[in-house]
Structure 1
Amino acid sequence: MELTQLINSVSSIQITGNIQRKDVADIVYDSRKVQKNSVFVAVKGFNNDGHRFLQEAIAKGAIAVVVEDNEALPDDLITHSQIAKILVKDSRKALAELSKGFYKNPTSTLKLIGITGTNGKTTSAFILKNIFQSNGYKSGLIGTIANYIGTEKVDAKLTTPESNDLNKMFYEMIQSGCEFAVMEVSSHSLILNRVYGLDFKTAIFSNITSDHLDFHKSFDDYLKAKKILFDNLNNSSFAIINKDDKNSEQIVKDSKAEVFTYGISDGSDYKIKNIIYDLTGTDFTITYKKTDYKIHTSLIGVFNAYNAASAFAAAHCLGFSTEKIVKGIESTPQVPGRFEVLGKGMKKIIVDYSHTADSLEKALQAIREIVKDKKQVVTVFGCGGDRDKTKRAVMGKIASELSDKVFVTSDNPRTENPLSIIDDIKKGISKNNFELEENREEAIKKAIQSSNDSAVVLIAGKGHESYQEINGVRNHFSDQEVALKYLV
Structure 2
Amino acid sequence: MKLAEFLPTDSNLEILDIMYDSRERREQSLFYCLSGLTHDGHQFAMQAVNNGAIAVVANKPLTDLPEHVVLVLVEDVEKVFYDSVAKFFNYPSRKLFVAGITGTNGKTSTAIMAHRMASKVTKSAYIGTLGVFFGEETYSYEYTTPDYVSINRYLHEMVKQGVKFCVLEASSQGLELNRLHGIDFNAAVFTNLTHEHLDFHGSMENYYLAKKKLFENLDAEDEAIINSDDAYGQRLVEELEIAPVTYSRINPEADYFLKQSETSVENSTFVLVHDDKEFNFQTDVRGEYNIDNLVDALIVVERFGMDLDKLSQTPLLIGNIEGRVDIIREQGFPTIVVDYAHTPDGFTKIFKFAQSICPKDGDIIAVFGAAGRRDTLKRPTLGSVANEFAHRIILTEEDQRDEKVSEINQAIRKGITDVPNVEVFNRYEAINQAIATALPHDIILILGKGREQFNNRGAHSSDYIGDYHAVLEIIDSIKEEENKDESEH
Per the normalisation by structure 2, the TM-score is 0.92
Return the alpha-carbon distance in structure 1 between the equivalents of residues 297 and 282 of structure 2.
14
1:281 aligns with 2:272: no
Q: Which residue of 2 aligns with 1:421?
A: 408
Indicate which of 313, 317, 324 corresponds to 2:303. 317
Change (3 A) 1:61 1:150: closer
Q: What pairs up with 1:111-190 in 2 under 5 angstroms?
A: 111-135=97-121, 137-190=122-175
Change (3 A) 1:336 1:398: same
1:3 aligns with 2:8: no
Contact (CA 8 Å) 2:282, 2:314: kept in 1 or not?
no
1:326 aligns with 2:317: no
TM-superposed CA distance for 1:164, in Å, is 0.5
Q: Which residue of 2 aligns with 1:398?
A: 385
TM-superposed CA distance for 1:372, in Å, is 5.7
TM-superposed CA distance for 1:454, in Å, is 1.2
Q: Which residue of 2 aligns with 1:101?
A: 87
TM-superposed CA distance for 1:60, in Å, is 4.6
Indicate which of 468, 471, 480 corresponds to 1:480. 468
Change (3 A) 1:251 1:155: same
Q: Which residue of 1 aligns with 2:482?
A: none
Return the alpha-carbon distance in structure 1 between the equivalents of residues 246 and 314 of structure 2.
20
Q: What pairs up with 1:180-259 in 2 under 5 angstroms?
A: 180-259=165-244
1:359 aligns with 2:346: yes
- Aligned-residue CA RMSD in angstroms? 2.0
TM-superposed CA distance for 1:340, in Å, is 1.0
Indicate which of 18, 28, 31 corresponds to 2:22. 31
Contact (CA 8 Å) 2:364, 2:390: kept in 1 or not?
yes
Return the alpha-carbon distance in structure 2 between the equivalents of residues 150 and 94 of structure 1.
32
Pick which of 105-114 and 260-269 moved more. 260-269
1:306 aligns with 2:282: no
Indicate which of 423, 438, 445 corresponds to 1:451. 438
Return the alpha-carbon distance in structure 1 between the equivalents of residues 106 and 314 of structure 2.
18
* SS of aligned partner of 1:188: helix
TM-superposed CA distance for 1:177, in Å, is 1.1
TM-superposed CA distance for 1:474, in Å, is 3.7
Runs of 4+ in 1 over 4 A off after TM superposition: 76-82
Return the alpha-carbon distance in structure 2 between the equivalents of residues 241 and 328 of structure 1.
26
Q: Which residue of 2 aligns with 1:11?
A: none
Q: Which residue of 1 aligns with 2:485?
A: none
Contact (CA 8 Å) 2:55, 2:70: kept in 1 or not?
yes
Return the alpha-carbon distance in structure 1 between the equivalents of residues 155 and 12 of structure 2.
27
**Identical-residue share of aligned pairs (%):** 31
TM-superposed CA distance for 1:79, in Å, is 9.0
Indicate which of 26, 41, 47 corresponds to 1:50. 41
Letter in 2 for 1:240: I
Letter in 2 for 1:457: I
Q: Which residue of 1 aligns with 2:325?
A: 339
Deviations along 1:315-346, one digit per CA (max 9) or x if unpaired, are 22233211343368712111111011002225
Return the alpha-carbon distance in structure 2 between the equivalents of residues 214 and 183 of structure 1.
24
Contact (CA 8 Å) 1:350, 1:457: kept in 2 or not?
yes
Contact (CA 8 Å) 1:356, 1:395: kept in 2 or not?
yes
Q: Which residue of 2 aligns with 1:463?
A: 450
Q: Which residue of 2 aligns with 1:382?
A: 369
Return the alpha-carbon distance in structure 2 between the equivalents of residues 36 and 150 of structure 1.
26
Return the alpha-carbon distance in structure 1 between the equivalents of residues 293 and 309 of structure 2.
18
Contact (CA 8 Å) 2:283, 2:315: kept in 1 or not?
yes
TM-superposed CA distance for 1:62, in Å, is 2.7
Change (3 A) 1:435 1:32: same
Contact (CA 8 Å) 1:286, 1:292: kept in 2 or not?
yes
1:62 aligns with 2:53: yes
Letter in 2 for 1:4: A
Letter in 1 for 2:273: T
Return the alpha-carbon distance in structure 1 between the equivalents of residues 81 and 453 of structure 2.
31
TM-superposed CA distance for 1:160, in Å, is 0.5
TM-superposed CA distance for 1:124, in Å, is 0.7
Contact (CA 8 Å) 2:393, 2:422: kept in 1 or not?
yes
List gaps (5 residues or longer) in structure 1.
9-14
Contact (CA 8 Å) 1:114, 1:200: kept in 2 or not?
yes
Change (3 A) 1:463 1:328: farther
Return the alpha-carbon distance in structure 1 between the equivalents of residues 51 and 349 of structure 2.
52
Letter in 2 for 1:199: D
Change (3 A) 1:374 1:49: farther
Contact (CA 8 Å) 2:24, 2:51: kept in 1 or not?
no
TM-superposed CA distance for 1:461, in Å, is 0.4
* SS of aligned partner of 2:173: helix
Return the alpha-carbon distance in structure 2 between the equivalents of residues 243 and 290 of structure 1.
19
Deviations along 1:385-415, one digit per CA (max 9) or x if unpaired, are 1211111111011112210000011111123
Return the alpha-carbon distance in structure 2 between the equivalents of residues 380 and 362 of structure 1.
16
Letter in 2 for 1:466: Q
Return the alpha-carbon distance in structure 1 between the equivalents of residues 217 and 413 of structure 2.
42
TM-superposed CA distance for 1:38, in Å, is 1.5
TM-superposed CA distance for 1:153, in Å, is 2.0
Q: Which residue of 1 aligns with 2:418?
A: 431
Q: Which residue of 2 aligns with 1:22?
A: 13
Contact (CA 8 Å) 1:131, 1:327: kept in 2 or not?
no
Deviations along 1:36-57, one digit per CA (max 9) or x if unpaired, are 5321112333454322212232
TM-superposed CA distance for 1:366, in Å, is 1.2
* SS of aligned partner of 2:247: strand
TM-superposed CA distance for 1:422, in Å, is 1.5
Change (3 A) 1:366 1:67: same
Return the alpha-carbon distance in structure 2 between the equivalents of residues 255 and 66 of structure 1.
36
Return the alpha-carbon distance in structure 1 between the equivalents of residues 80 and 370 of structure 2.
36
Return the alpha-carbon distance in structure 1 between the equivalents of residues 109 and 312 of structure 2.
16
Deviations along 1:275-332, one digit per CA (max 9) or x if unpaired, are 1111102111111122111112212111111011111222222332113433687121
1:295 aligns with 2:281: yes
List gaps (5 residues or longer) in structure 2.
480-489
